[in-house]
């Protein structure tokens, strides 16, 4: 039951991310004529990077939730938890170095920051679910 709720939460976050992506791209294209080509290319690359990280982490985490829910083998649960944990580093880098310093600059950066921070929170929820539902062993 918790796995279904978590998958629904991921689906809702994908919908919100799509809306925010449209807003961010519209804002970037509106500001295209007021900024240099170099800055435009940098912002465009940052937005593509944020989208790519979100898509990859969504796929990996949803597959990990399903695998850990239906797998009778604890080894697969551990591997799925490791896969979820390994995608935190690029997303955290994206948040700390690309999104947060520029969040107040424009609407595009704010939208990218919201998507990336929600991505980190969902990864944490997924790891928490996998651990407490399938991997935790009480040794007392």
Residue 43 main-chain phi, psi, to 5 deg? -65, -40
Looking at the domain assignment, is residue 95 inside a domain? yes
The single-letter DSSP state of residue 72 is S
- Helix axes of 37-70 and 2-30: crossing angle, nearest 10 degrees: 170
Domain count, the chain: 1
> Tens of pLDDT along 94-131?
888 888 888 888 888 899 899 989 999 999 999 998 88
Q: What is the mean pLDDT of residues 82-104?
A: 86
Residue 14 lies in a domain: yes
Q: What is the pLDDT of residues 47-57, one digit of tens each?
A: 898 899 899 99
Domain membership of residue 140 (yes or no) is no
If one compares 98 and 8, the residue with the highest pLDDT of the two is 8
16 in a structural domain = yes
Joined tokens for residue 74: 């604890």
Range of the domain at 53: 2-135
Average pLDDT estimate for 83-94 = 87
Which token pair is 38? 């170099």
Average pLDDT over all residues of the chain = 88
Q: Sort residue 137 into left (φ over 0), alpha (ψ -120 to 50) or beta.
A: beta
Give the pLDDT of residue 140.
59
The pLDDT-based confidence of 139 (bands split at 50, 70, 90) is low
pLDDT at 65: 92
Whether 50 maps to a domain, the answer reads: yes
């Amino acid at each position: 039951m918790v796995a279904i709720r978590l998958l629904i939460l991921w689906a809702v976050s994908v919908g919100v991310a799509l809306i925010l992506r449209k807003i961010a791209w519209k804002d970037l294209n509106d500001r295209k004529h007021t900024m240099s080509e170099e800055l435009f290319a940098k912002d465009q690359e940052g937005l593509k990077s944020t989208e790519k990280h979100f898509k990859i982490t969504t796929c990996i985490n949803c597959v990990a939730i399903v695998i850990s829910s239906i797998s009778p083998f604890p080894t697969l649960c551990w591997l799925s938890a490791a896969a979820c944990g390994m995608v935190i580093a690029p997303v955290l880098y994206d948040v700390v170095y690309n999104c947060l310093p520029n969040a107040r600059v424009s609407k595009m950066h704010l939208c990218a920051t919201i998507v990336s921070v929600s991505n980190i929170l969902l990864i944490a929820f997924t790891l928490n679910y996998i651990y407490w539902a399938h991997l935790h062993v009480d040794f007392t």
